[in-house]
Chains A and B, each alone.
Chain A
Amino acid sequence: MQAYLKLDHIDKIFTRGNASTEVLKDINLTIEKGEYVSIIGHSGCGKSTLLNIVAGLTGATNGGVLLENREVNSPGPDRAVVFQNHSLLPWLTVYENVKLGVDKVFARTKSKAGRDAWVMHNLSLVQMAHAKDKRPSEISGGMKQRVGIARALAMEPKVLLLDEPFGALDALTRAHLQDSVMALHQKLGNTILMITHDVDEAVLLSDRIVMMTNGPSARIGEVLEVPLARPRKRLELATNPGYLKCRQRVLEFLYERHSFVEAA
């Protein structure tokens, strides 16, 4: 396996005063180019911390992140993040929110007209071109998240990081957006690392599912390959034995072997 993104022996210890908590212990993971990998675990297991470390927003205590064999330890557009709560800037329009990143990333390589066209191209990828002049407060939660995805895609990241991107959405909108992300992955072949706590979502979207044990000192408990052919169809998979088996494996891991311990 060729390592495109490599998480190398990552430990994370939070220290406050004299008390220190080890959140993550010895996380090793390699991700291929074009692969869709999900990280699943109970809340509080440190999966968001792990994503922040990959994004460079939080530093690892030990170990590091290698992208194309180069260490990355500060945030940058090559690892664009889609945040759970969309994090669009409310004083900018949809267009300007996407443009913010595009103007920085393509300041030298694209002309003004080229950048404009690229923003519109990415907005149409997520079917949001029609709302380009609206402000975030004027569009629905699902639409905001679409714009968040467009903003991240428009930076042409090497790795797209999704931090529970569908967590704050209602079930119908969530399914719709999952299909969109699947279609985008199919079309653009991005490398994607996604945090989730939804078993169906993980199985439906991922090539591999990384299951994390409970914190403190969370580790990677198990990595499951999802051997389902793409493109995947939500309805057909509902009765597919391969899909059900994967789903079963993840459920067993989460609820039998590493069930959530209150106040752990």
Chain B
Amino acid sequence: MSMPAMKTEMLEVAISPAVAAAPVVTMTPKRAPRAERYARMAKESAARVVPPLIVVALLLVVWELICRRAGSSLPPPSKVFKDTRELILDPFFDNGGIDKGLFWHLSASLQRVAYGYSLAAIAGIALGTLVGQSVWAMRGLDPLFQILRTIPPLAWLPLSLAAFRDGQPSAIFVIFITSVWPIIINTAVGIRNIPQDYRNVAAVVQLNPLEFFTKIMIPAAAPYMFTGLRIGIGLSWLAIVAAEMLIGGVGIGFFIWDAWNSSHISEIILALFYVGIIGFVLDRLIAGLGRIVTRGTAAN
């Protein structure tokens, strides 16, 4: 159960040198003495690591106290750890069928998300650009988008199973249809908000439509696009777990469902923990990518 602590510590260690070193190098001509710098770095990371550690520890204690009595319907953390030891220590075993380690389940889910989300990103940015650029496209498509985007992801699943007659493409389609709407809508807003000044510059320089798209539209709307992409990746990860419960096969969603059917409550809790961590990492990944791509754009 020391996983959350380990994870945060690792993240802190990985992030803080870059964060702390950047201002030192660029802003102050003289470097502070090494020992002093390390001491400050340690202090800063401690300030960020210690409060969540305390909260997690407190929650574990409360959970343990509530669930340890006999006849409790949910296992306490100590029992969860004892039950799932093997799954945690060996995520790579493969006994054929769906009897695989958690790594394989998670990677199968991530693969589906990668396909569906990539398609959604491409289609979403293309459609968003169209809707943002053309008044008629907006009038025609926007009402449709507004209705379609309210349909819950799982409601699409039976229809896509009927169309594709296979679990894999159906799950990918559900990911696609779930994450495409925020990407479309945010891209369209970004395109619509491109300042007239930039359009004037493009007109004076006489950029052709393709150059205008790549050199003005994409960079100017990038902050909005990444807002949409970030919401999209979160929704994809939400939808995949639910979709996999229904389509079965290898995947973290079906792993959870299977554990429930076999009354392995501890395995469910472990899987939920992994789902949370991966969702968090995916979100940070897109946010970090956005920061790199939009450097300078948002600063003005």
Interface residues of A (CB under 8 A from B): 55-57, 74-77, 79-81, 83, 85, 87, 89-92, 100-101, 104-105, 135-137, 155
B204 near A55: Cβ-Cβ < 8 Å: yes
Beyond A77-B205, A89-B201, A90-B300, 7 extra complex contacts between A and B, CB < 8 Å: A55-B200, A55-B204, A87-B201, A100-B215, A135-B296, A135-B299, A137-B300
Query: B-side binding surface: helix, strand, loop or mixed?
Result: helix
B277 vs chain A, min Cβ distance (A): 33
B residues near A76, Cβ cutoff 8 Å: 204, 206
Quick one: which of B185-200 are within 8 Å of A by CB? 197-198, 200
Query: Which B-chain residue is minimally distant from A101 (CB atoms)?
Result: B205
**A135 nearest CB across to chain B (Å):** 5
Interchain residue pairs A-B with the least CB separation, the first 8 = A90-B300, A87-B197, A75-B203, A137-B299, A91-B219, A91-B297, A101-B205, A91-B296
Would you call B216 an interface residue if the criterion is a C-beta within 8 Å of the partner chain's C-beta atoms? yes
Select which of B205, B222, B296, B297 is within 8 A of A104 by beta carbon: B205
A79–chain B nearest beta-carbon distance, Å: 8
Q: Give min CB distance, A93 to chain B, whole Å.
A: 9
Does B207 interact with chain A (Cβ within 8 Å)?
Answer: yes
The answer to whether B200 touches A100 (Cβ under 8 A) is: no
Bitwise, B277-300 to A at CB < 8 A (1) or not (0) is 000000000000000001111011
- Residues of chain B with a CB closer than 8 A to A57's CB: 200, 203-204
The chain A residue with its CB closest to the CB of B215 is A100
Interface contact A104-B299, CB-CB below 8 Å: no
List of A residues within 8 angstroms of B219 by Cβ: 89, 91
- Chain A residues whose C-beta falls within 8 Å of the C-beta of B206 in the assembled complex: 75-77, 104
CB proximity of A67 to chain B, nearest CB, Å: 14
The distance from the CB of B91 to the nearest CB of chain A, in whole angstroms, is: 42
- B205 near A81 (CB under 8 angstroms)? no
Partner of A81 from the list B200, B222, B295 (CB cut-off 8 Å) is B200
Q: Are B296 and A90 in contact (CB under 8 A)?
A: yes
Flag if A104 contacts B207 (CB, 8 Å). yes
Give min CB distance, B211 to chain A, whole Å: 8
Quick one: closest A residue to B297, CB to CB? Answer: A91
CA distance A57 to B300 in the complex (A): 24
Instruction: Give me 6 A-to-B residue pairs in the complex whose CB atoms sit less than 8 angstroms apart, sorted by A's number.
Output: A55-B204, A57-B204, A75-B206, A77-B204, A83-B200, A104-B207
Q: How far is the CA of A81 from the CA of B216 in the complex (A)?
A: 18
A89 engages B204 (CB within 8 Å): no
Is the Cβ of A136 less than 8 Å from the Cβ of B205? no
Q: Which of A91, A101, A104 has the most CB of B within 10 A?
A: A91
> Closest chain A residue to B200 by CB distance?
A57
Counting chain A CB atoms within 10 Å of each CB, the highest count among B204, B206, B295 belongs to B204
Contact A90 B205 (CB under 8 A): no
Min CB gap A187→B, angstroms: 23
C-alpha spacing A79/B206, complex, angstroms: 11
Q: Note all chain A residues with C-beta closer than 8 A to B220.
A: 89, 91
A104 to chain B: closest residue by CB = B205
- Chain B 203-227 interface mask (CB, 8 Å, partner A; 1/0): 1111100000001100110100000
Residue of B nearest to A79 (CB): B204
CA distance A91 to B203 in the complex (A): 18
Q: Given known contacts A87-B197, A89-B216, A91-B219, is B204 in contact with A137 (CB within 8 Å)?
A: no
A87: chain B residues within 8 A (beta carbon): 197-198, 200-201
CA distance A142 to B296 in the complex (A): 19
Separation in Å of the B239 CB from the closest CB of chain A?
Answer: 33
| Nearest B residue (CB) for A163 | B200
Question: Could you tell me if B197 and A137 are in contact, using CB atoms closer than 8 angstroms?
Answer: no
Given the interface pairs A90-B297, A137-B296, the reply to whether A83 lies near B203 with Cβ below 8 Å is no
Q: B202 to chain A: closest CB distance in Å? A: 9
Residues of A with C-beta under 8 A to B295: 91
Measured between C-beta atoms, what is the minimum distance from A199 to chain B in Å?
Answer: 27
Nearest residue in A to B211 (C-beta to C-beta)? Answer: A104
Q: Which residues of B contact A56 (CB under 8 A)?
A: 203
**Shortest distance between the CB of B34 and any CB in chain A (Å):** 29
A97's nearest neighbour on chain B, judged by CB, is B201
CA A92 – CA B219 in complex, angstroms? 9
Please measure, in the bound complex, the distance between the C-alpha atom of A194 and the C-alpha atom of B222, giving whole angstroms: 34
Contact status B205-A155, CB under 8 Å:
yes
A37 to B198, CA, bound (A): 26
Q: Is the CB of A75 within 8 A of B204?
A: yes
Neighbouring B residues of A55 by C-beta, 8 Å? 200, 204
Across-interface contacts of B294 in A (CB, < 8 A) = 91
User: Measured between alpha carbons, how far is A76 from B200 in the docked complex, in Å?
Assistant: 10
Residues of A within 8 A of B215 (CB): 100
Report B212 CB to chain A, min CB distance, Å.
11
Tell me the bound Cα distance from A79 to B204 in angstroms: 8
Find the A residue at minimum CB distance from B203. Answer: A75
The answer for the CA separation of A81 and B206 in the assembled complex, in Å, is: 13
